Each structure stands twice: as C-alpha cells, then as structure tokens.
Amino acid sequence: MKVRLNKYLASCGLGSRRKVEELILAGKISINGAGVNDLALQVDDNKDLITCEGKPVKSEPQKLYLLLNKPAGYLVTKSDEFDRKTVYKLLPDFAQQCVPAGRLDKDTEGLLLLTNDGDVVQALTHPTKKVEKVYRVQVNSPLTHSQVEELRSGVMVEGYKTRSAGVYIKHNETGNTVLKVVIKEGKKRQIRLMLEAVGRKVLHLKRMQIGEIELGKLPVGMWRLCSGREMSYLRSLTRKTV
C-alpha cells in the first residue's frame, strides 16, 4: 500500500514529519537509486527501495500486545506434531506472529500475554526483572502453617531452590483449599512442583495477573488488545532494562 514519503520515513524512526521533510528537501533521500525532493511523493515499501544517505530504511511492524484467557487443554505453541489444540487457534490472523511472554502448561488456565515486541518479552520473562505473576491455586488438602512458611522461603524443585514467594490462604478446607501464590520467576511447572515439594497436589491452576496487567473479567478462550494504560506499563518495563 502506498503512503506519503514523509509519513513513511517518520514511521522508520528518522524523526518527526518536519525533520524528515528537511531530509527530503536536502536531497538525502533516494528511491530506487534516484534522488527525490517531492514532499507529496507516494511510496510502496514492498516494491520501492528507499534509502537515506545511501542506507536502506524500513518501517517497523506495528507493535501488538494482546491478552488471552487461556483455557485448560490448549498448548502454548505455534503447532503440535500430534495436532493438539494450541492457543493460536484462538487468536486472530493479525496476531499469528506474536509470541507469548511466559508460558502456561496445557492444564493451566488464565492470563497469557502475547506480543511481537521482543523487548517486552525479555522484560517480562527474565528472572532478574522480578516481574510478579499472581496465581489462584486449588490443592487437594489443607496446608499447615509450616508448609506455607516453607513455600514462602523457597523449596527444592528439580535441583534448585525456588525464590521467596507470596503464599496466602484464601480457603483452607478439605476439598476447597485455595491459595493465592505470587512468584517472581517462571520455571517450567513451577507452582505444581512447589506444591508437590510440600506433599500437595494442584487440582486447578489459573494465572490472574502479570505485573500490573490483570485478567479481570475476560471470558475464557477470548482475547483482547491491551489498553493504553497497559501498553504504557509494558513499555516502561523496557525502559528500565536499558
């Protein structure tokens, strides 16, 4: 699709509209090897080679940030050799190139954030950034005070000790023992293994929050684009990592 040259150059990060117009008028922009100075010129970056002082310029794809309320039974992967259901079957066509910022296992439900912004994925998943993830966990029997304290201080899981975690009892009755668990790391099946380490089995696991991003009332199996406030928060995480 054709767009005005000044708009295209601005989308490539060469500066404001006024700045890129100065570049055009100064003869620093070429299209298909020929210098141009027409501010109203239309270009198609799929067909035209646009350069600035001899260096190719290319617009970046639009940044996308989506939230999905993942149902149980779906894999967080693009495809599966056994043709099992994947979360990408729940996403629109324009989001098929997005990647998850942290995974959930097949049987876990809840908040999954997907984006094509690699900096945001790095900020949300790298353990040194310590972004909190909040889960609602139902287990098969009540926890004692000592078991809760053990989980909070860290337990041995597959050869490593988990970091300190927030563990809060919401209900503590046989058949209805529900916990709120807050962790700042994301090892594979971490919460299930943590509970197994203190002799309990997870019956139901749902991620409710990632940092300041909340699942809210998003229906199971549905997705939505992040709000302006949520996008500002995600981008603020990347600024802190520079």
Q: What is the model's pLDDT at position 223?
A: 98
136: left (phi over 0), alpha (psi -120 to 50) or beta: beta
Q: What is the model's pLDDT at position 81?
A: 86
- Residues 79-88 pLDDT 10s: 888 889 999 9
- Residues 172-227 pLDDT 10s: 988 789 999 999 988 889 999 999 999 999 999 999 999 999 999 999 999 999 99
- Residues 44-83 pLDDT 10s: 878 899 999 999 988 777 889 999 999 999 999 988 888 8
7-11, 106-110, 111-115, 143-147, range with the lowest pLDDT = 7-11
Q: What is the model's pLDDT at position 8?
A: 86
CB 115 within 8 A of CB 182: no
Q: What is the pTM of this model?
A: 0.78
As annotated, the active-site residues are 105
Q: What is the 3-state secondary structure (H, E, C) of the chain?
A: CCEEHHHHHHHCCCCCHHHHHHHHHCCCEEECCEECCCCCCEECCCCCCEEECCEECCCCCCCCEEEEEECCCCECCCCCCCCCCEHHHHCCHHHCCCEECCCCCCCCEEEEEEECCHHHHHHHHCHHHCCCEEEEEEECCCCCHHHHHHHHHCCEECCEECCCCEEEEEEEECCEEEEEEEECCCCCCHHHHHHHHCCCCEEEEEEEEECCEECCCCCCCCEEECCHHHHHHHHHHHHHCC
Give all domains of the chain, ordered by start, each with its CATH number.
3-56 (3.10.290.10), 65-226 (3.30.2350.10)
Residues sharing a CB contact under 8 Å with residue 126, sequence separation 6 or more, in sequence order: 241
Q: What is the model's pLDDT at position 3?
A: 87
Q: What pairing do the DSSP bridges indicate for beta strands 3-4 and 176-183?
A: unpaired
